[in-house]
Amino acid sequence: MLRQSRQTRTRVQQLCDGALFALSPVIAYALREGLSRIDALGLSPLEPFADLAWVLPFAAVLGPAFLAAQGFYSAQRPAAGGAARASAFMALAVVIVLFLTRAQVARSVVILGCAFGGALAYARAVFTERLASSRLAREQWRERVLWVGDPKANKARRAALPSEEVAHIADLGDFDPAEQSPERFAEALHEHAINTAIFERDGTGALAPYIECCAREGVSVVIRTGLRQTAAPFAPVAHLDSLGGETVIHYRAAHRAGPGALAVKRAADVVISAGALLVLSPVFALVALAIKLSSRGPVFFKQTRAGLNGRPFEMIKFRTMRPGAEAGRDALAAQNEMRGPVFKMADDPRITRAGRFLRRHAIDELPQFWNVLRGEMSLVGPRPLPAYEVKRFDDDAHRRRQSMRPGLTCLWQISGRNEIDDFGEWVRLDLAYIDCWSLWLDAKILLATAPVVISGKGGR
């Protein structure tokens, strides 16, 4: 089953489950209200239903989100355990909100409503699964596919399909262009009521009449590229595009979170960096005074760093070394304590007294909010390295750490900083961040950064 079709099906299921989770508090309220009228139970009457109304949209959004977090929509068969866990998390979230807002809502209604929501979502999933295997689904709802190309090659392609994709396909056989004409192809589309024709990449130009026939008939076309999808979540994603009037397949590195989440990340960068520059301006003045009093030279230090995909930019920091320190770097190369192309030294003699304190607590990095505001950096991302260190990479795979915009803080920053003495481990943390990136991960790293810089852990 094509990825877009799977996504559409999942969205429909999530909308249905959202409606069921919103309906569940209503059912729970009605049940609890009915029980309160039985004198023998001794239950107190409930507050007006209007006091519970805010829970409905809350449940409609969080219910499917918790189900998705439990892998409910990606599982081949619905899991009762996943639905139960989602219900428990949902109840916990609502109770926490009630506690924080001091809203007066019966806890029994909340717990019953969340339990009903999980049960209804599970029942919906079971019903959907059985409906998908029914005769109606086989005849009307499955994608009716015709394989165009060498029948022997097509047989191998069919065998490689996973069972969950086969379950959503009605295979109508092969069409061999080497033996049959475009006119016969049109007849085959009519005879079998084909929804999708799958073509091999070889000889695509010669297949143009067949593809044009599909376009006239309104039949979807799938062209196999022969390129395997990689396991990494940050992997090239194909889009149809146009170049010189010709249709092309454009592969771009795009994270699974999509451009929408990246846009939110950039918006947060702009808002937070602008606010930080404004709020921290008095701190900047104090730091500038301390630098001037401790040593001669400029307040700021600028250095060319490698940004997104290696694009050079000028990163700005508070100066922490004596003037001319860059010229003395090569003389200290033998004392490098970091394995790899990066230079790190615990007792670097070039660092000033004020600079040692600024580095330990990452205060020297604060001017980089300006780089974030300019779009050269992000709040969270792999730390940018000097351009000359990037040129010394002995493994081109290390350059993938530059596939996201560099950041003020990262997993390396909260995992020991300079206590990590192997550049390979540093890269591993950066790639783990890239491959697992989400807005939530950024938020967790930002929250974890504050105690690290305050304590000065790993700072030099």
pLDDT, position 368? 93
Predicted pLDDT at 44: 64
Q: How far apart are CA 67 and CA 87, in angstroms?
A: 8
Q: Are 144 and 173 in contact (CB under 8 A)?
A: no
What angle, rounded to 10 degrees, do the helices at 107-132 and 55-69 form?
50
The answer to whether the beta carbons of residues 113 and 25 sit under 8 Å apart is yes
Q: Strand, coil or helix: what is 71?
A: coil
User: What does DSSP assign to residue 142?
Assistant: S
> Which domains does the chain carry?
3-132 (no CATH), 137-226 (3.40.50.2300), 259-455 (no CATH)
DSSP 8-state secondary structure symbol assigned to residue 346: T
CA distances from 372 to 60, 259, 365, 375, 433 (A): 36, 18, 11, 5, 18
The pLDDT, as a whole number, for residue 59 is 84
72: left (phi over 0), alpha (psi -120 to 50) or beta: alpha
pLDDT of residue 252: 62
Residue 142, pLDDT score: 73
What pLDDT is recorded for position 380? Answer: 93
- 10-residue mean pLDDT profile of the chain (460 residues): values are 65 88 86 72 66 79 86 78 87 80 73 88 87 66 82 83 74 85 85 83 70 80 72 57 68 59 86 92 91 87 86 89 70 63 70 84 90 91 87 74 86 73 79 85 88 70
Burial of 67 per CB tally in 10 Å (0-12, 13-18, 19+): buried
What's the distance, CA 303 to chain centroid? 31
